[in-house]
Amino acid sequence: MQMITLMQRKGTIISMAAVFGAAALVLSDASFAGTGGGEFEDVWITLEEWTQGTLGRIITLAIIVVGAVIGVVRQSLMTFAVGFAMGMGLYNAPLIIDSIVGATLTNAGAIMSTGQQISNGLGL
């Protein structure tokens, strides 16, 4: 008798948790993520201009020069390669982040036409 009431209570608690969980997901503002954030647009534009503008070019060149100097000191080209990669990464970071996070299909037409030109050679 007590086992049945315990099982009924568990079932009731699980059902109530599922209902409240579904209600929380449907009614929460977080479920509509990605619809706001306009207040940070100015910050993003400023950082993008810094990294791809004159400041970003100066920092990129400094990273590459430091990598080259350390490469000469250590007699290894790896530090130059790492410095060069870091410089390229810094300059192209806004474009990469926009491509990943933006999730827009601005280049879908170009991708589709390129995909159609690549074939397997079987004439399909």
Q: Can you say whether the dihedral through the CA atoms of 6, 12, 13, 14 is positive or negative?
A: positive
Tens of pLDDT along 105-114? 555 566 555 5
Report yes or no on 73 lying in a domain: yes
Q: What is the pTM of this model?
A: 0.48
C-alpha to C-alpha distance for 121 and 91, rounded to whole angstroms = 39
Is residue 67 domain-resident? Answer: yes
91 within domain boundaries:
yes
3-state percent helix, strand, coil for the chain, nearest multiple of 5: 80, 0, 20
Domain that holds residue 74: 42-103
How far, in Å, CA of 37 to CA of 45, rounded? 13
Q: What is the pLDDT of residues 51-83, one digit of tens each?
A: 888 988 898 889 888 888 988 898 888 888 888
